[in-house]
């Protein structure tokens, strides 16, 4: 073991971004028993390599810096380094194919690639892989991911048509608005359900997830009693709970983050019952794994699409809304960005922009930036009518995106049969009228596949869809 080379963990390469304002653990491998001296930005910290050949040293909180610096690790006889390291904010961008869809496949790729000339924006693309147990390193067969400076060339390289279009637009907006380096980590696996991204230990204690945990325990038992029933690079393995986390997220931990984005759910349409619990379990897992109990996690709402049963998508929407109502989470709404005939709508610039607005408003305290569109606060019903009160950006008056009459409202009585309602906007209230429903008890907006909602406010974002009794 004395010949073990000194190296950094897989999360650390040249051109990376370290998270500002928090202690930063730096880890790697080396000869057992050796002292490792880690240096960065004037700091010098030491660690002792364990008998298993691992070491971890922790840097004190760092201020944001666009000045390229070198992260070094030294023993008495060896040296490792990462060059051109910046300090700023690091965001994990995870999910399935709509997060994975690259800049060359999204709408207006030329504009996205022109936007990609961003020396302060750094990209790390984690290759799709899965594993039966948590890994310390990314699977070698998947290829070693490395941080790169964001340029038109690097943005279009690898992945499914290049780096995630949603993530790239998100990161470019943060750099423009904050003026600090931003690191984006793409960990997306097309076709995956949410369960593969949730580690087994995060599923315990969630009754809705016991079936997932039982499946993993059965596989673990088989692994210890004979040949493991797992072939790492077969696509069906991503359907096993925890396997994407094990291969794509675990090697990153405990790298601190500024936040995480989650764009997924298409493969869970039709099984929305446990989805809210699963998404909450994933958020809890990210916070525990990074040691950041208040880590912001923002999700993108699934855009409208004609699944086999429209009600299945509505149930998934309800689960997304329920899971993201808590502190340090939120949902970027996309009721106007869908393509009913394409599960991969191409307007990713708007999705990334809305996630950025959400982060700027809630994480960075930018009250001048709208975090969402109008959000329903209260409803009162009367004969054939309803009055809706909204929270709006800067308490601005309701309006429509296209200047036309408000669309996408409907009322229903106790029997649940909805009929379109005419809406009049006055200040932060919408007054609905529907003579076909004499005694309304339910109201909805943008809560039907095929609606073309246009309600907004001075912030310009669409109203949050809702179904309310």
The two structure tokens encoding residue 359: 């982060």
How many domains in the chain? 3
Q: Do 428 and 304 share a structural domain?
A: no
72 burial via Cβ count (<10 Å: 0-12, 13-18, 19+)? middle
- The β-bridge partners of 26 are 57
Whether 97 is in a domain gets the answer yes
Question: Model confidence at 205, in pLDDT bands (50, 70, 90)?
Answer: low
The two structure tokens encoding residue 286: 């990210």
CA 51, distance to chain mean position in Å, is 37
Q: Do 329 and 215 share a structural domain?
A: yes
Largest Cα–Cα distance in the chain? Answer: 84
Question: Model confidence at 225, in pLDDT bands (50, 70, 90)?
Answer: low
User: Which residue segment(s) compose the domain that 117 sits in?
Assistant: 91-362
Whether 368 is in a domain gets the answer no
Q: Do 301 and 159 share a structural domain?
A: yes
Whether 438 is in a domain gets the answer yes
Q: Answer with the one of 331, 362, 393 that is the final residue of a domain.
A: 362
């005694």: which residue's tokens?
439
Q: Do 355 and 224 share a structural domain?
A: yes
Question: What proportion of the chain, given as a percentage, has pLDDT over 90?
Answer: 90
Whether 121 is in a domain gets the answer yes
Q: Do 63 and 204 share a structural domain?
A: no
Whether 112 is in a domain gets the answer yes
Whether 194 is in a domain gets the answer yes
Q: Do 153 and 34 share a structural domain?
A: no
The two structure tokens encoding residue 218: 């059965």
pLDDT tens sequence across 227-260: 444 444 444 445 699 999 999 999 999 999 999 9
Q: Among 112-116, 182-186, 315-319, whose mean pLDDT is lowest?
A: 112-116
Q: Answer with the one of 86, 101, 120 that is the final residue of a domain.
A: 86
CATH of the domain at 41: 2.60.40.10
Whether 134 is in a domain gets the answer yes
pTM, full prediction: 0.95
Q: Do 393 and 329 share a structural domain?
A: no
Q: Do 461 and 345 share a structural domain?
A: no
Contact 156, 191 (CB under 8 A): no
Q: Do 175 and 149 share a structural domain?
A: yes
Q: Answer with the one of 362, 390, 406 that is the final residue of a domain.
A: 362
Whether 145 is in a domain gets the answer yes
């Amino acid at each position: 073991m004395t010949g073990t080379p000194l190296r950094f963990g897989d999360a650390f390469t040249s051109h990376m971004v370290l998270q500002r304002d928090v202690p930063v653990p730096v880890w790697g491998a080396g000869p057992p028993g050796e002292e490792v001296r880690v240096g960065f930005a004037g700091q010098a910290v030491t660690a002792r390599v364990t008998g298993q050949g691992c070491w971890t040293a922790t840097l004190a909180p760092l201020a944001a810096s666009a000045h390229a610096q070198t992260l070094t690790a030294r023993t008495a006889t060896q040296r490792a380094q990462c060059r051109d390291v910046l300090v700023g904010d690091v965001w994990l961008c995870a999910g399935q194919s709509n997060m994975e869809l690259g800049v060359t496949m999204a709408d207006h790729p030329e504009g996205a690639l022109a936007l990609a000339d961003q020396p302060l924006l750094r990209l790390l693309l984690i290759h799709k892989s899965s594993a039966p147990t948590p890994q310390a390193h990314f699977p070698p067969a998947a290829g070693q991911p490395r941080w790169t400076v964001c340029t038109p060339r690097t943005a279009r390289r690898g992945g499914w048509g290049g780096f995630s279009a949603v993530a790239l637009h998100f990161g470019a907006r943060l750099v423009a608005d904050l003026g600090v380096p931003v690191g984006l980590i793409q960990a997306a696996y097309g076709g995956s359900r949410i369960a593969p991204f949730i580690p087994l230990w995060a599923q315990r204690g969630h009754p809705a997830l016991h079936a997932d945990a039982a499946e993993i325990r059965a596989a673990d038992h088989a692994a210890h009693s004979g040949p493991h029933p797992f072939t790492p690079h077969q696509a069906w393995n991503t359907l096993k709970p925890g396997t994407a986390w094990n291969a794509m997220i675990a090697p990153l931990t405990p790298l601190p983050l500024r936040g995480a984005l989650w764009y997924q759910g298409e493969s869970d349409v039709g099984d929305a019952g446990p989805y809210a619990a699963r998404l909450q379990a994933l958020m809890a897992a990210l916070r525990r794994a990074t040691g950041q109990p208040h880590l912001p996690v923002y999700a993108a709402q699934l855009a409208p699409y004609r699944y086999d049963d429209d009600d299945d998508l509505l149930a998934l929407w309800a689960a997304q809304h329920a899971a993201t109502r808590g502190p340090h989470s939120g949902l970027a709404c996309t009721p106007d960005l869908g393509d009913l005939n394409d599960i991969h709508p191409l307007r990713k610039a708007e999705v990334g922009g809305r996630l950025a607005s959400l982060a700027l408003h809630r994480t960075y305290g930018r009250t001048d930036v709208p975090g969402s569109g109008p959000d329903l606060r209260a409803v009162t019903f009367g004969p054939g009518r309803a009055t809706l009160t909204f929270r709006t950006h800067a308490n601005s008056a309701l309006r429509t995106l296209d200047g036309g009459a408000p669309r996408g409202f409907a009322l229903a009585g106790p029997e649940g049969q909805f009929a379109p309602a005419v809406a009049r906007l006055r200040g932060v209230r919408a007054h609905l009228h529907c003579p076909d429903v004499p005694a309304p008890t339910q109201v909805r907006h943008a809560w039907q596949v095929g609606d073309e909602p246009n309600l907004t406010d001075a912030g310009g974002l669409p109203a949050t869809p809702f179904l309310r009794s």
